């Protein structure tokens, strides 16, 4: 097994779980790790929210030993708040602290955070420097190709991140205006890898072992990160780990195995967030798990209306009846 080091953190060179807001919560991260994810990054938390002691924001920073090595992710547009937030994040003992400079959502970019930082390189550098100087924990940055096709500046941003002390960068090679549509441009990851001396993590359109291998081969990146490709498929991390361990990757799970995995995931979610919130959030997770199963459309509709664990268990029995 090969490894990459981010600061003093040693990570298997297989596949990591991306920081997906409102998706990659603790239950999701634990599932990914149980199946072999090399590294996890938590949901993004507001630097300013942390500084103002927002309880819901702080909750996003909590992690269990089962998730390690793991990072927390912060977003913000003001160096002073970022430095204070990093100090607060330290108390949760993350292995790494990641700064989001790639989120394309209006509520984030309209405040100057996320992908909007790629339009203000000088401010971006100040934010990275403020974070690095506030802690001994490795600071990493996740960003996109650029704001739009006329301003693809990932290489410039990567160099600024490195010059200001970042320990690694993650590149999602779509522009902000693309959101998650179209194909990612892996040549951007390769260009960043050629431009800096710190580890480069590649992200985007990895949905299989073959996609992961191609990402490594085509870009030369130091680690591959998977986001949407893991929806309802935590076993993908195990298949990739098998490949890089010299084993034959396991076949896709049987229906009974998928049901067992889904039950484990939703049980973790409910245990962490309580039945009311947990089942509400489980509706989307369950819908991803049944993709490709006979009668999936009807099952997704029924999952969207479940309210209790009893409803969930009843629907699992229904799935067995569809085959």
For residue 273, what are its two tokens?
A: 């967030």
Cβ 237 vs Cβ 36: under 8 Å: yes
Cβ 237 vs Cβ 209: under 8 Å: no
The DSSP code sequence of 158-227 is HHHHHHTT-SEEEEEEEETTTTT-S---HHHHHHHHHH-SS-EEEESS--SHHHHHHHHHHH--SEEEES
Place of tokens 């870009």: 219
Closest CA to 74 of 5, 128, 123: 128
Residue 68: strand, helix, or coil: coil
- Among candidate residues 40, 103, 212, 221, the one labeled active-site is 103
For residue 77, what are its two tokens?
A: 């547009």
For residue 289, what are its two tokens?
A: 């798990």
Cβ 119 vs Cβ 161: under 8 Å: no
Q: Is 103 a catalytic residue?
A: yes
Residue 285's φ and ψ, nearest 5 degrees, are: -60, -45
For residue 65, count CB atoms less than 10 angstroms from its CB and return exposed for 0-12, middle for 13-18, buried for 19 or more: exposed
Instruction: Return the active site residues.
Output: 103
């Amino acid at each position: 097994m090969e490894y990459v080091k981010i600061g003093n953190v040693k990570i298997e060179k297989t596949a990591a779980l991306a920081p997906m807001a409102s998706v990659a919560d603790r239950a999701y991260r634990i599932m990914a790790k149980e199946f072999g994810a090399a590294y996890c990054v938590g949901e993004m938390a507001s630097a300013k929210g942390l500084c103002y002691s927002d309880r819901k924001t702080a909750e996003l920073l909590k992690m269990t030993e089962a998730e390690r090595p793991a990072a927390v992710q912060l977003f913000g547009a003001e160096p002073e708040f970022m430095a204070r937030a990093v100090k607060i994040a330290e108390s949760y003992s993350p292995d790494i602290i990641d700064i989001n400079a790639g989120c394309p959502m209006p509520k984030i970019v309209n405040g100057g955070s996320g992908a909007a930082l790629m339009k203000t390189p000088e401010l971006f550098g100040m934010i990275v420097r403020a974070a690095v100087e506030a802690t001994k924990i490795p600071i990493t940055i996740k960003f996109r190709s650029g704001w739009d096709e006329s301003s693809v500046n990932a290489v410039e941003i990567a160099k600024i991140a490195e010059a200001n002390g970042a320990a690694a960068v993650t590149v999602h090679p779509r522009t902000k205006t693309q959101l998650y549509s179209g194909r990612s441009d892996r040549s951007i990851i390769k260009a960043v890898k050629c431009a800096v001396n710190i580890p480069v993590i590649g992200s985007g359109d990895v949905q299989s072992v073959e996609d992961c291998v191609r990402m490594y081969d085509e870009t030369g990146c130091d680690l591959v990160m998977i986001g949407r490709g893991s929806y309802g498929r935590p076993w993908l991390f195990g298949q990739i780990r098998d490949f890089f361990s010299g084993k034959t990757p396991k076949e896709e799970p049987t229906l009974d195995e998928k049901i067992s995995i889904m039950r484990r995931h939703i049980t973790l979610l409910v245990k962490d967030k309580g039945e009311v919130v947990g089942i509400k959030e489980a509706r989307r997770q369950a819908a991803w798990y049944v993709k490709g199963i006979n009668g999936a459309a009807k099952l997704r509709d029924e999952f969207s209306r479940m309210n209790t664990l009893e409803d969930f268990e009843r629907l699992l029995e229904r799935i067995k009846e569809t085959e």
